[in-house]
Amino acid sequence: MNDLYTHRDISWLDFNYRVLQEAKDKNVPLFERIKFLAIYSSNLDEYFRVRVANHRSLVRAGKSAQKELDYEASEILEAILHIVNEQQLEFSRIFEREIIPDLKRNNIFILRRDKLSKDQIHNIENYFKDFMLPYAQPVLLVGNKVKPFLNNNALYLALHLRDRENHQTHYAIVKVPSDHLPRFLELPNKSREKHELLILGDVVRHNISLIFPGYDILDSYSIKLTRDAELYIDDEFSGNLLDKIKKSLNQRNIGQASRLVYDRTMPKHMLDFLMSVFDLSSYDLLPEGRYHNNADFFKFPTYEMQHLKDPVLPPLPVPQLEEADNIFDVIAKKDYFIHVPYHRYEAVIKFFEDAAVDPNVTHIKVIQYRVAKVSRIMDALRKAVVNGKQVSTFIEVKARFDEETNLMWGEKLSLGGVNVYYSMPGYKVHSKMAIVRRIEKGTPKIYAYCSTGNFHENTAKLYSDVGLFTADVRITSEATRVFSFLETKKRPENEFEHLGVGLFNLKEKFVSLVRQEIQNARLGKKARMILKMNNLEQKDMIDLLYEANDAGVETNLIIRSVCSIVTGKKGLSENIHAISIVDRFLEHSRIFYFYNDGQEDIFISSADWMERNLHFRVETLIPIYDPKIKEIFKTILQIQLHDNVKSRSLDFEKINTYVTSNNDLAVRSQIETYYYVKRVTEQQDDPNATKPEKAAGKVITKKVKTKNSKS
């Protein structure tokens, strides 16, 4: 391990633990705590399918495959498994000792088989015969002769059986059909106020004797196999990349095993047998509790008990945009921002729907990285073609786990007359941007929407992202060049001056902004940066931040997930402090603030500071020029820095401790942001309104000293 950098995959586990902290926080409503158990598990499933699968492949390939690495793959893999094992023990403790008792206090009972009444037993036996039997798929394992294929992330019971006739013992597996049936089966009971549930695997356990007549069931334990999800494409630069991706998708769910999850109470003889049958090593094993596939907790029944959920925060309208006769006439006068999920997404949808029917619009162009399966935006693009517009979309079909949806939309849009451009070999296009060309008084004018989030109506309700509507020619002219490059693959003749664009000047732009702060600090001037992003891992940028620390630049980092820099360490990074906020919405926006000798430059971006974003993706960094919007984004950053409820320290030796302060006012940044956004939205077109920076109240200007306490 390196003292200057935390390995990204170890840091990611710290992030996922912050999710688990929400599940054990008694101040979080009960059903939301259950949801965080699901998020933690879903995150971990993907992590093993992608990141851990990669480390296992490196270990299998041997030393020669690791020559370019600055770490030992086996060392990282062992550290990952140790950390995850510890977290899984805590997960089980939270579920069994906290969640289940809290459910009981609210008259919701998760029963075991030995607690069922006669009526309930009769009910589950009928349910099994009527609905589950066709999906059970029992297989008797005979040494190495029978090696059944385990579906990715499917639930199975591993059984130890004794033949009643010859008294020989055998092993078997049977599928738990949670991919076809609800995971939580509600049982009949005599009380209307009481809810009793049985988890689907226990229904199978109870009825195993129907599947294996003539055998005594000695033991049963749940298992699940996770498979490598990487798309292995031999050469992206030759042949048809789209066809190669389609073929690779067909292989994803039959990939190499990357994890066997098993009940930690399973005896060694049974685990050894399963390892032999499925060709698994100790690196492939992950013990959990009695139940797996805990992402199914997303579907846990809530019985309309609203008091056990987060209070509703109704998404706020942006009436200046949503109620406009034509949205472009409004944007022509000044820039507008939105901040989802605090704002409704309706303004973005209207941007496309107005463009589709506006007789003055000639072109619509958009980048599609992730998009909803049912999408009004995509429907508007098809409608625009019918109305005679020239419409083009760049579709990134290498967006992991959204490849099939993107391919589906690519085919639909193409059939509808949209010009569809697909992935570039060797790179991903990750920018979140759309432009509309409109003829006004005989002259073409460009309108742009630039965002930190995808054009996805569903995630806009859950992810915290910011976006900018603008007709500022400094931005729109360069945005047009980005689309020209994506369509022609020809480098623009004019350099990018205002935008930072991946593969062109993005990293250089970030470097120059940081170096300006370093220079000002060395001249004795005030120098400060606030950098909010999802992930910080790129070593050149980390080294530059260490250099800024040495020069005396005050740096605040707000990092949701991977944070590979070591912060708050004397002699290395005492001027750099990092926090992470995990709350009811996923922090996804990337906002960058640079004091710049009082000029205060603010940017939004699609890019994190990761190797992939800065070197292998088309990303965009968008300057905020409107003074009022600059103040709004600056205030949003300040609100987050003052969070003393949901903020965790990422500083050296204080990782994941809750940040507290001597401020008597509890500041939960996402709730504060909602009401701040509400105020400034209402004031946007009021000439007598308070300036945006004052609307947030005293908490924003007050300097808060933080101290850390164990969670």
Q: What is the pLDDT of residues 21-42, one digit of tens each?
A: 999 999 999 999 999 999 999 9
Average pLDDT, the chain: 90
Res. 62: pLDDT tops 80: no
CA-based angle 201:206:212, to the nearest 5? 100
Nearest-10 crossing angle of helices 627-641, 669-683:
160
Q: Is 430 part of the annotated catalytic residue set? A: yes
d(C-alpha 264, C-alpha 266), whole Å: 5
Task: Give the pLDDT confidence score for residue 247 in this predicted structure.
Answer: 65
Q: DSSP string covering 118-153, please?
A: HHHHHHHHHHIIIIIGGG---EEE-TTT--PPPPTT
- CA quadruple 262, 266, 269, 272: dihedral, nearest 10: 10
- Count of alpha carbons within 13 Å of 354, Cβ hemisphere only? 22
The model's confidence at residue 3, banded by pLDDT at 50, 70 and 90, is confident
The model's confidence at residue 219, banded by pLDDT at 50, 70 and 90, is very high
Task: Give the pLDDT confidence score for residue 235 in this predicted structure.
Answer: 53
d(C-alpha 149, C-alpha 374), whole Å: 33
Contact residues for 5 (Cβ-Cβ < 8 A; gap 6+): 539, 542, 564, 565, 566
- List own/partner pairs for 500-503 with CB under 8 A and 24 or more apart: 500/603, 500/605, 500/607, 500/619, 500/620, 500/621, 501/431, 501/618, 501/619, 501/620, 501/621, 502/430, 502/431, 502/607, 502/613, 502/614, 502/617, 502/618, 502/619, 502/620, 503/427, 503/617, 503/618
Residue 415: C-alpha distances to residues 17, 23, 349, 455 (Å) = 45, 46, 22, 20
Structure tokens at 297: 């907790």
d(C-alpha 603, C-alpha 624), whole Å: 6
Task: Give the pLDDT confidence score for residue 14 in this predicted structure.
Answer: 97
d(C-alpha 135, C-alpha 156), whole Å: 11
Q: How far does CA 163 lie from the centroid of its chain?
A: 48
Structure tokens at 173: 């597996």
d(C-alpha 288, C-alpha 291), whole Å: 7
Tally: H helices and E strands in the chain: 22, 29
- Work out the average pLDDT over 184-205: 90
More confident of the two residues 278 and 355: 355
Task: Give the pLDDT confidence score for residue 685 in this predicted structure.
Answer: 60
**Can you tell me which residue has the tokens 């000044």?**
334
The model's confidence at residue 711, banded by pLDDT at 50, 70 and 90, is very low
Q: What is the pLDDT of residues 257-282, one digit of tens each?
A: 778 899 999 999 999 999 888 888 88
Are 521 and 527 spatial neighbours (Cβ–Cβ below 8 Å)?
A: yes
With a pLDDT cut of 70, the percent of the chain lying above it is 91
Contact residues for 666 (Cβ-Cβ < 8 A; gap 6+): 644, 645
Residue 523: C-alpha distances to residues 527, 545, 593 (Å) = 10, 17, 20
The model's confidence at residue 155, banded by pLDDT at 50, 70 and 90, is very high
Structure tokens at 347: 């303004």
pTM of the model: 0.92
Catalytic residue among 430, 577, 588, 642: 430
| Farthest CA pair distance, the chain | 93
Task: Give the pLDDT confidence score for residue 697 in this predicted structure.
Answer: 40
Res. 642: pLDDT tops 80: yes
CA-nearest of 672, 606, 623 to 644 is 672
- Give the three-state DSSP class for 646: coil
Residue 379: C-alpha distances to residues 42, 127, 472, 598, 653 (Å) = 30, 42, 27, 45, 51
CA-nearest of 641, 660, 651 to 581 is 641
- Count of alpha carbons within 13 Å of 660, Cβ hemisphere only? 8
Structure tokens at 87: 């977290």
In order of their start, the domains of the chain are 8-308 (3.30.1840.10), 319-488 (3.30.870.10), 505-709 (3.30.870.10)
Helix locations, 387-505, DSSP H: 403-415, 473-488
The model's confidence at residue 144, banded by pLDDT at 50, 70 and 90, is low
With a pLDDT cut of 90, the percent of the chain lying above it is 73
- Work out the average pLDDT over 636-652: 97
d(C-alpha 558, C-alpha 294), whole Å: 29
Q: How far does CA 223 lie from the centroid of its chain?
A: 26
Q: What is the pLDDT of residues 224-261, one digit of tens each?
A: 988 876 655 555 555 676 675 666 656 656 677 778 89
Radius of gyration of the chain (CA): 27
Res. 551: pLDDT tops 60: yes
d(C-alpha 609, C-alpha 603), whole Å: 14
Strand stretches in 341-412, DSSP E: 361-368, 390-395
Category of 656 on φ-ψ map: left (φ > 0), alpha (ψ -120 to 50) or beta: left
- Give the three-state DSSP class for 169: strand
d(C-alpha 191, C-alpha 602), whole Å: 59
d(C-alpha 262, C-alpha 265), whole Å: 8
Torsions phi, psi for 240 (to 5 deg)? -90, 110
CA-nearest of 475, 435, 477 to 351 is 435
Amino acid at 52: V
**Can you name the residues that pair with 337 across neighbouring β-strands?**
468
Convert 554-578 to b/e letters by CB count within 10 Å (16 or more is b).
bbbbbbbbbbbbbbbbeebbebbbb
User: How many CB atoms are located within 10 Å of the residue 507 CB?
Assistant: 21
Are 369 and 379 spatial neighbours (Cβ–Cβ below 8 Å)?
A: no
Res. 618: pLDDT tops 90: yes
**ω before 319 within 30° of 0 (cis)?**
no
